[in-house]
A and B are shown apart, each in its own frame.
Chain A
Amino acid sequence: MRTREQLIFEHSHPGRGATDQWPHDLGPESIADLPAKLRRTRRPLLPEVGELEAVRHFTRLSQLNFSIDTHFYPLGSCTMKYNPRACNEYAMLPEFLARHPLAPESHGQGFLTCMYELQEMLKEVSGMQAVALSPMAGAHGEFAGVAMIRAYHRSRADLARNEIIVPEAAHGTNPATATMCGCVVREIPVNAEGDVDVEALKAAVGPNTAGIMLTNPSTLGVFERRIEEVARIVHAAGGLLYYDGANLNAILGKVRPGDMGFDVIHMNLHKTFSTPHGGGGPGAGAVGVSARLQPFLPIPLVGKQGERYRWLAEKDLPQSIGRLSGFMGNAGVLLRAYIYMRMLGREGMRQVGEYATLNANYLLKRLTEQGFDAAYPSRRASHEFIITLKRQARECNVTAMDFAKRLLDHGFHAPTTYFPLLVPECLLIEPTETEGKDVLDAFAAAMARIQKEAEQEPERLRSAPHTMPVRRLDDVRAAKQLDLTWKPTAQS
């Protein structure tokens, strides 16, 4: 891989610019009416570079990244499947790109048709009664879901219900979301087999229970086998069930959250429905609900009137939890998800769940054959599984972090490390269905080589990576000596 690149500010020269991109100068008279006391007096620190310099700089930066397009990226819980180019191509048709969010419905039926059909398809795969598309990320969808649960209880004057039950292995966004909704978090343990401790759940539910947030398959990579019982216990206590859809890829086309008894779900369109991760976003966290939560859905949604589509807003849903997005959410992401789902079709959905599960179980088998320890050896893998390196930590004094960094040298992005917190020195590995057997074999072989190195030359792991643009970075220094923006030196 190439070595690092200077900052764009270090390429800057006063007076340079991509002048072909600038509008023509209309002179100072064009802004003479702006009051002097409101005018900016010092130019902002933006680069002054020519177009080629800028293009070269950012192209070279891109070449410092691992990505799905360049590397196997088995990040557990993130579902790093191929992002089909067609999704980008057709979501970025000029008419869609040019459309203003507040343009009239009469001139947006093409777009609205796609949105309505997306709502319908998401209802079908999730087994829910209604879907809203505006939450802009998974955590945002979680917020909408928990807010709807609260709104539901309040509408029934059931005001004491402010506790959200969360398994200890839950993703951090779950308890953070509960807090954002003004709820109190109650954690319950998970047993040694990876299932929620049902006895602990029975003790935890009561008149204060607003609901429970669950992922299924869970964050431990295994199916919650007693889910029907869990649903009965929580419902009987008057609570609702929230489904975190982060792991939907495992069961797409095979099981539907609505059928498992969930009242509200969010789906990560940037995971299961392959919209691009973009270096950290944008996502989309569509929410689905059962009939009793339908009145509370966030607006806007798309409705159908005869053969035409229109926006449903506050007037149509007076009990809505409200507007969560400046406009209607991440429209371009939603279009990509729509295109992907249309390409998959009915059979494709089912194949996703099947092959994601096949790949995970195969890779799990190859790794355990090499001597790695599965965290839940008696369980089937879902679309992902956990390997624990606690034995290697004890015997060779190497950590999951060391393995992860050494994998980079082998040309693989590391799996998720140290999540879930429950399993020590863990790697959470999710191959996804778009990887072939040969890639999985190569990954298993690399892991075996690293294991050997851990036994014979552990220092190579502890000081990895060796071949990346930078070596291991000092995080402590980063947090203690905060350097968060470039500052020009006295001379520049």
Chain B
Amino acid sequence: MAFIPHTAADVEAMLAAIGVASIEELFDEIPAALRVKSLAGIPDAMNEMEIGRLMNERARADGRPLCFIGAGAYEHHIPAAVWAITTRGEFYSAYTPYQAEASQGTLQLMYEYQTMIASLTGMEVANASLYDGASAVAEASLMAVRLNRKSKSQRILVPSTVHPHYRKVAVATASNQGLRFEELPYCTDEGCTPAGALAKYDGEDIAALVIQQPNFFGRLEDVDALTDWAHARGVPVIAVVNPTSLALLKPPGEWGNKGADIAVGEGQPLGVPLSCGGPYFGFMTTRMEYVRQMPGRIAGRTLDVNGREGFTLTLQAREQHIRRARATSNICTNQGLLMTAATIYMSLMGPQGLERTAAVSHARTCELVAGLTRLQGVRAAFKGPCFHEAVVVLDRPVAPVLQALANRGILGGLDLSEYYPELGPALLVCATETKTAADIDRCVAALGECLQSARHAPHRRPARLAQDRR
């Protein structure tokens, strides 16, 4: 019964103590006209056995296809210990650590997380996470505008090679405060942002430049040149990065001559499962001089009255519960449980494990692309190095091909035709360390079959394909 322990005797004793005859009397301040008669639209209660059966049925219906989609959410091996510990009641059912003495576990973990993520991104200080990578880009843009007092324009330059969803979220979140996001074109041969794209903004008032590395296509941008262009013009740089890639790639703190000003990204690759799209977490790191403009919770180390070390939330004067209308952001929560998982993951993997994960993911993607592009009707979209994700171009519309692959239990990648129609029938593919050579062979063979059968016998396409066609 709704996890309510009361017996009839309990209720009777409690009502007597309060001095009312019934629980209904406790609602007597509420106008009768407002009382709900019954929630007819809610089904009957289910016990745990019944809900277990229902959820298992629904999960089985969805199955577990072999997944080669990246596009901002990556399937990596997650050690069993990560979620065994993260779902311990003491982490799972604890609140925000406002009573520091009763929350040293969470607070110390936050401090350890901040240390790791700051170092991974090559920056000096971190917050204890934001909602996700996309909203972190929005928050970083707002932060850059606050920091860049010389600029009046509130114009943020964003390459079109930044994740399309991130660009949308930034606009939806920050345009109400007057920020304007302008897209920089990319080179359709190279799949990255040419220096020329920035040239037209020379001499203009720009509030910040966003750079994603690797970019949405998996291609590697010339982060040094882009960063230096911005800094030469007093424009702060917001780096959007994949944390796994940072085991191998130069971190934002070392981009160009001075390093990026704010680094953000999606933390999901660090020990968080794909789980239908969330919950994930956004990370944000920056230079120490900017810390007071950084939104979100921060844990700090201090001493107690006995001179013993302890941890507490600090710099809370930035936050909504103190500054209210003048807060750096309205954010109240962080993604505490996910940050916990990521910290345990990073501790178990260590620098070497993360490096291996990145290297093997990169290698698997290269193998996948090599296999796919050996097929007739498939070619690589761009020249130049990628990291663990790449774009291939087919000789026909992508959607029916993907559906055919899905029907064989394979998710072949992300159809880019809606996001980047100028690329034609383009497919974004990703293979991580979780994919074996056999998995890749299976994907390549399946795609080959789908392309073959359509090519040689279009009139004998299976009925299901025609029905499922969008």
Contacts and interface: CB of A to CB of B under 8 A. Distances in A.
Instruction: Decide whether A and B are members of one complex.
Output: yes
B187 interface: no
A106 B343 CA distance: 35
A137 B29 contact: no
B101 A106 contact: no
B165 A326 contact: yes
A125 B46 CA distance: 17
B4 to A, nearest CB: 5
Interface string A87-121: 01110111111111111101111110110000011
B51 A343 contact: yes
Interface in B19-58: 19-20, 23, 26-31, 33-36, 38-48, 51-52, 54-58
A175 B319 CA distance: 12
Interface string B105-136: 11011011011101110001110110111110
A150 B176 contact: yes
A14 to B, nearest CB: 10
A276 B92 contact: yes
Contacts of B35: 254-255
A167 interface: no
A62 B88 contact: yes
B45 A280 contact: no
Contacts of A61: 104-105, 108-109
B8 to A, nearest CB: 12
B4 A110 contact: no
B327 A172 contact: yes
B91 A65 contact: yes
A347 B1 CA distance: 8
B92 to A, nearest CB: 5
Interface in B281-320: 281, 288, 291, 297-306, 308-312, 314-315, 317, 319-320
Contacts of B349: 17-18, 21-22, 46
Contact of B58 (A16, A62, A111, A298): A111
A413 interface: yes
A469 interface: yes
When A and B form their complex, which 10 residue pairs have the shortest distance between CB atoms, in order from nearest? Answer: A69-B89, A345-B45, A278-B337, A101-B277, A322-B172, A280-B336, A327-B277, A110-B58, A326-B134, A282-B279
Contacts of B28: 380
A63 B90 contact: yes
A181 interface: yes
A137 B10 CA distance: 36
Interface string A336-376: 00010111111111111011011101100110000000000
B65 A82 contact: no
A59 B340 CA distance: 12
A67 B17 contact: no
A193 to B, nearest CB: 10
Interface string A223-266: 10101100000000000000000000001011110011000000
B348 A51 contact: yes
A378 to B, nearest CB: 10
Contact of B5 (A22, A101, A434): A434
Contacts of A88: 87, 92
A86 to B, nearest CB: 5
Contacts, number: 671
Contacts of B57: 110
A263 B398 CA distance: 42
Contacts of A344: 2, 45
Contact of B62 (A31, A38, A108, A347): A108
B220 interface: yes
B468 interface: yes
Contacts of A490: none
Contacts of B59: 93-96, 110
A256 to B, nearest CB: 6
Nearest to B387: A34
A326 B280 contact: yes
B58 A114 contact: yes
Given A108-B62, A471-B306, 20 more contacts: A7-B112, A39-B249, A55-B85, A61-B109, A64-B105, A69-B89, A97-B274, A147-B176, A173-B320, A180-B177, A228-B34, A326-B132, A346-B42, A355-B23, A365-B19, A380-B26, A408-B101, A414-B99, A473-B311, A479-B300
A211 interface: no
B327 A31 contact: no
A4 B385 CA distance: 47
